[in-house]
Structure formats: structure tokens, C-alpha cells
Structure 1
Amino acid sequence: MKSMIIGGIILIIALMAGTYFVAGDAFISDDYINALTFLGAAAIITISTFVVLKYINQMKNDTASGELADENWDGIGEYKNAVPTGWAIAYIGVIIWMFWYFTVGYPINGFSQIGQWNEETNEYNAKFESKWQNPNEQTLKAMGQSVFLVQCAPCHGVDAEGINGKAQNLTKRMSKEQVEFTIRNGSNHLVDAYPGGMPPMMLQDDKDISDVSAYVASGFKGEQPAAFAACAACHGDNGEGMPMVGPNIKAYDDALVLAVLKDGKKGLLGHMPSFESRLNETQERALASYIRSLGDK
């Protein structure tokens, strides 16, 4: 037994030294909670070690006694000894605690981390929308810039000029190549705002496609090509679009930006995923206001 006690003490010292080596910096701080935690760890290690040693010694030295039960398994029988009182109380206590924990302490149907997060998010959004219900244009631009830097800059860049040409340069209009790609391939991804979509190759002649692409990319400057009539049927004579029919292809208005945020965008430069539910309505308007303020450079 003496050697076991010495071994237990050595084990306790080794465990405490290991604990201090791993997390010692936390225990020497001014925070008394860390000190109490370390003392608690020491107590648990010490008590656990000596309890284990006690039962190991008991198993080595105690002899079984009492009346054997009639049943046996492969010649191994059980004594009809009573269950230890302490063990029985602890067992019943754990069961009682379990029922209390699941019904009163922390009801399994009374709390949800996801539910709590949703409640707090909805509460915050309600306060946000109430506070910024009628922001002026200057406020919208400032708010939109913050939203842009967090949500959009990873692809479009902090200067909104795109990164390595893999995202739309929002400081300029669509390039002639982008317009031509849309004419040739169609655009059917803004399904909620413009359910009709745009079928590909509404213009068949290469010269018509080139002329219309150049006209739209220039910002509708110069003489309007006759072939633009095919586009005006949905986008209007001035390119400012028609609700539920065709988006504004002249400027980044609220309807267009909100539609792209909801449904994403597919085009010559790649695929932009949907940002639905990431922003509230005020933030979406603010983002549209900021993008419009970038203007042509």
C-alpha cells in the first residue's frame, strides 16, 4: 500500500505539473476565477487518485463473503450482498437530478439556441428598421458603403472596380462585351423581379448585336440603333426598364440592385450568388444608393 501511495503522489504531481505547463499563464493572472479553477483541478486530481488507489487496494486485499446466489455463469456466482448505501443514494440522486434538469432546470422543449438567436436577430432588425425608417440620401450612402465593404468588397474590391476582372466593375457601365454576351446568351436568372426573363438571340444579325451593345455600353449616347427596338419592348425606349418585365439597363436603380441581391447574377464574368436574407430592406436600399454614387470614372 505504501508504494501505491507514493506512486499516487507522484502521479498527482505529474498531472498538476502538466496542467500548469499547458495553462499556467492563465493561473498567474489577477483573475481569481482562474486561481479557483486551478485549485478545483488540483482537488479533483487528488481526490480521484486516492479514491482509485483505495479501491485498487481493496480489490487486492479484501475477501468476498456472504451467501452465494443459486444462479451462476460458467461456474462464476454472485453473493447476495446488499447494494452499497452510498452507491444506491448516488444512483437514485442522479436519476432525480436528470428529471429535474430536463423538466425544470433546462427544459428540453423550453430553450433553443437557434430560437434565441432568431429572436435576438428579429428584435435587432426591428430596432434597426425603426431607427432608420426614413434615412436621407447621405445617410443611405454612408450605410451602403459599410455594407459594401463587408458583403461586396471581397469580390468587387474595396474600390468597387472588381478583382482581376472576375467581378463587375461597379464604377463603370457594362462593357460592350458584357452586353453582347447577354444578348447572345439571354438572361433568365432574375426570376422573381422579372419572371419573363430574356431569351437569347433576340437579335440575330452580328452587326445589329454589335451596334446595340456599343450603344448600351456607352450609356445610351449617340444615335439609337434601329435594332434597339427589340430591346425597347421590355427595357423601354430610354433603357430604364419596366416593372416585372425588364430591368433598368441604364443605371443601378433600387429595383435592379435588389433583384440581383435576391436572385444572384450570371454573366460573362461569372456567377454571383444570391444574398437573400443577408440584408434587411434598409440595408439593400443603402447599398443601391452607394453603388449609384460611385458613378462613371
Structure 2
Amino acid sequence: MKSMVIGGIVLIIALIAGTYIVAGDAFNSDDYINSLTMLGAIAIITITVFVALKYINQIKNDTASGELAEENWDGIGEYKNPIPTGWGLAFIGTIVWMFWYWSVGYPTNGFSQIGQWNEETLEYNKKFASKWENPSEETLTAMGESIYLVQCAPCHGVDAEGIGGKAQNLTHRMSKESVEYVIKNGANNLKSDYPGGMPPMMLTEEADIQAVASYVAGGFKGEQPAAYGVCAGCHGADGKGIAYVGPSIVEYTDALVTSVLNNGKKGAIGMMPSFKGRLNPTQEKALATYIRSLGE
């Protein structure tokens, strides 16, 4: 046993020395976390080696003893021995360390790049909201154009005409094909703002579908088809929408643009992903203002 203890001490010293050789340059800084890490490594190495030596010695010299439990299998059972004291203390110590780490240990009181970034972002957003609290229409349009070119142009095109029909043409409200698609397939993309959604085939006659689609896509010009009365129940007789019931189908209102940005939109030409969290309310309003200016 004496030779095993000496060998264990030599092994501990060798492992600690190896750890210091590999990572020793980190302990010259003022960061106390590195020192705590080294102390933890020494403790783990020491405990591991001596626990291993203890049980190796037990395997070599100890014999089973104590009160045998009643449960057994083919005469093989377990003794009612208490847990090893060292194991129990190590288990409790681990729990204590866990609470220390969560409450006062690293990284809760240490420097965090993510924390610094969050603080700077919140401060910038605060300044942004204060600076643009009451922007003019001209300012909103200019701001919206910048946002559009970065966030929207890759799909809708710099000219907002949809890049060959692969995305919605934003220079006018909607195409006849888009209206037909919604009538036939329904729309439930804007659930957070218009919870009722729109069921498919509110109009069943093809002639009615064509008449309503032409009227809506044409900007509500000319004689209103009788079949549009089905649509007016949610979108209003003038098509400007009803809050929490149906969106405007006349123009890109602030509410509609914000809802599409937050929910995404599925239509005849594909799926637009959600942009929720990318823009603040002022930027969303600016984008809606710029999109409306395209139709003018």
C-alpha cells in the first residue's frame, strides 16, 4: 500500500505539472477565473487518484461483510452497507458548488461579450426611438427605402416589381391571380392580427370569382360586383378592412405590412418568411410608408 501511495503522489504531481505546462501562461493575467480553474483541476486530479487507490486497495484486501439483504438471486445478494463517506461528501460538495456557481460564481459576475452587446443594443434602440419618435412622412419614406433595399429587394426587386413574378409586385396592391388564389384557397397567414382567417371558396361560382378578382385587383374602380358583398363582411364595403377581422385589400396599410412582416405570407407564387423581431415599430411603419409611395 505504501508503494501505491508514493506512486499516486508522483502521478498527481506529474498531472498537475503537465496541466501547468500546457495552460500556465493563462495564469499571468488578472482573471481570477483561471486560478479557480487550476485549483479545480488540482482538486479533481488529487481526489481521482486517491479514490482510485482506495478502491484498488479494497479490491485487493477487503472481504464482504455486514448484514445481507433478504432479496437475492440464486443466492447472490447485496449487503446493507452504508454509502462510502467520501462519496457522500463529494456528492454534497458538488451540490454546494452548483449553487455557488449559479448565484455568485462565474460567469454571473464576469465580463460577457454577449452581455455587453445586449447593453449596447438596448442603448442604441433607446436613442433610435427617441430620435425618430415623430418622423415626418418624408423621413419615413426615406427610411423605408433604405430598409426595403436591404430586407425586401432580394426577393421583390429593386424596382419592387417582383423579379419576374417570383415575389409579389409591390407597385400596386395585388394581381388578379393573387385574388383568385386567396378566394379559392383561403388565407390564414395573419392569425395573430386577424384570428378568424379566411376560409376557402367563400365564392363558388367561377363567374363571381372572376368578377370580384378583377374588381379588387383593379383598385375598386368601376361598378362593384354583387358578389363582393360576401367579401365586404370582413374587409368592409370600401375594402379598407376591419380591425381584427379582415385586412385592407385596397392599400398597404401600416397594420397590414406589420402583420405580414410578423407572420409571413403564403400566396399563389410561394411563401414569404416571417421577419418578426428584425425591425422595430418605427422601421415597420417606415417600410409601409415607402411601399405605399411606390403605388403613387
Partner of 2:241: 241
> What per-residue deviation string (whole Å, max 9, x for no partner) do you get for residues 107-165 of structure 1?
42233333322222111111101000000000000000000000000101111111121
Unaligned runs of 5+ in 1: 1-68
Distance 1:78 1:235, change over 3 A: closer
Distance 1:210 1:118, change over 3 A: same
- The offset of 1:71, in angstroms, is 5.6
Cα distance change of structure 1 residues 260 and 95 upon mapping to structure 2, 3 Å threshold: same
- C-alpha contact (below 8 Å) 2:185/2:200 kept by paired residues: yes
Give 1:103 deviation, angstroms.
Answer: 8.1
- Seq. identity, %: 60
| Aligned 8 A contact 2:173 2:252 in 1 | no
* Aligned match of 2:107: 108
CA contact (8 A) 2:264 2:271 kept: yes
Separation in 2, partners of 1:227, 1:150: 40
8 Å contact kept, 1:189–1:266? yes
Tell me what 1:122 maps to: 122
Task: State the SS of the aligned residue for 1:207.
Answer: helix
Match of 1:255 in 2: 255
Matched with 2:175 is 175
Q: Counterpart amino acid of 1:188?
A: N
1: CA distance between counterparts of 2:151 and 2:26? 50
Query: Distance between the aligned counterparts of 2:125 and 2:9, measured in 1?
Result: 67
2:173–2:249 contact (8 Å) kept in structure 1: no
Which residue is equivalent to 1:228?
228
Do the aligned partners of residues 241 and 107 (structure 1) sit closer, same or farther apart at CA in structure 2, a change above 3 Å counting?
same
Q: Separation in 1 of the partners of 2:230 and 2:8? A: 94
- In structure 2, relative to structure 1, the CA distance for the partners of 1:78 and 1:163 (3 Å cut) is closer
Contact 1:160 1:169 in 2 (8 A): yes
Q: TM-score, normalised by structure 1?
A: 0.67
Structure 1 pair 107–239 and aligned structure 2 pair: CA distance change class (3 A)? same
Identify unmatched segments of 5+ residues in structure 2.
37-104
Quick check: 1:206 aligned with 2:206?
A: yes
Distance 2:275 2:35 in 1: 40
Kindly indicate whether the alpha-carbon contact (under 8 Å) linking 1:262 and 1:276 is maintained by their aligned counterparts in 2: yes
Change (3 A) 1:236 1:103: farther
Q: Distance in 2 between matches of 1:238 and 1:223?
A: 12
TM-score (norm 2): 0.67
**What does 1:1-297 align with in structure 2 at a 5 Å threshold?**
70=3, 97=27, 100-101=32-33, 107-109=106-108, 110-295=110-295
